[in-house]
Structure 1
């Protein structure tokens, strides 16, 4: 078995174990509700299908057996589509929004996330022509692809890579004439584009997500105090607001590195950095002191202190 397959199987087993622990806990509290209405889950599945995600693709991504969601979507064995669905399966579907790695490069997907990344980089000052050159593509072809009804996953991955590389870099510091970068920024402002701090990496590809809001697909039955329960070790699915609350706590009050925070939240270090910057920016706009890393000391500083003590 390959390393990738082993890691995937391990993740599936871990997710199932977390779900089993939560189920046992809720049964013990007398709060176990085994089923939820199926229609919200079906609606979410249709949104995934519009993006380009097949039912089989959702089943694979969630570690469900083949055809597990068939009865939900189209009925089976002469029965109509289900009116209810098992709670753990339904919540897993509602909490799932595919990432680019869930698609093969040859697939085509809905272009919202790709366009948002290009527009966010325009706010920073990166033009489409500059992005096309960095992507190794003709500018006309690049522009036409972004205006199409669907984009290839290969292009979406290239744009996502550029977004991760450039979102915090000033074009002027990397060979772009200042007057050209300023012009791109002015045009982005006129067109109403949103910058990188307006988007969460987890939801930037979701067309229903709004910039700089807590809008998120609801997760039935998760209850209240999600951030606190998550930090105490409970197996809950975080919504967008709770996710930011957890990240803010981990970044401000623990000695975890950005990479470790990303691992705990099952995201990327770049996403953690962007969300942390966004949290600080919002605090400043609200007239509050921006949070800072109160506990974390970079390893290089520890080494420097040890060297000074030894001297």
Structure 2
């Protein structure tokens, strides 16, 4: 502290002191009256000439010199160089404080929060060592005596780093939920291209039960979305291998299944995440026939009957009875006795 009072020492005056502990008005009055000697000047600031620890970043900033009153050689040299540069730029009329208005940055952080990127995640993506700079922009200072004081300006470098963080899915946390529409469309497009569910699941590390439960969800984790998007970018313009007879059969089953379901291929989408969903064609199949179609495709893909039952969300004996009613004894036999097992 400097020891200078925050207001004029004249009774009843709340003006800011400029010299001799007097405001501008009372200083001028004392000058005209020749009574300046009566007013004691404020004591000079006592500088505690210390040397900060080595981990304080001497010479990198002016924090040690100004706040900690460190007077080591790196701190004093850095302070002198900064002051010389400041005076030169002011003389040339090119001096820039390096500060910008914080309003745009604060609005950007709030927008990122609405997208799902919290202030700690913003600080991490911006490359800050802690979340304090972003937290201070949102909720004000936490310094003693200045708690809640909102910033008006911040460093230009800080603003540029924060504004560089964009509201995209790759910047979300891995478990942050996002709409599953893009995942569903990408998987459906790959199946329409001939990639079987088994092959897609193997590349993603999913089982058939995981796959079908995912296709029923409205949201997925951001990490899942990115994994499916990365696989889609690899495979959308490629056909699966068809060298062996079983590979040809799997390809044909996948293409036919996607065609019956009305699943669109990759080239049908301009933006697979945001394009409106086309109107679905009316199908003459009953719900039971569609279930049996799913069951047949999964069994032909090599999935065990227990996993198929989980995938279509039916009990094994219910699938067997459904298959009998539709005259599909070949499918019913796969589920006989499964309920007791």
Scaled to the shorter chain, the TM-score interval is 0.3 to 0.5
State the structure with bigger RCO (CA 8 A, min sep 6), 1 or 2.
Answer: 1
| TM superposition score normalised by structure 2 | 0.37
Name the one with the larger helix percent: 1
Which protein shows a greater Rg?
2
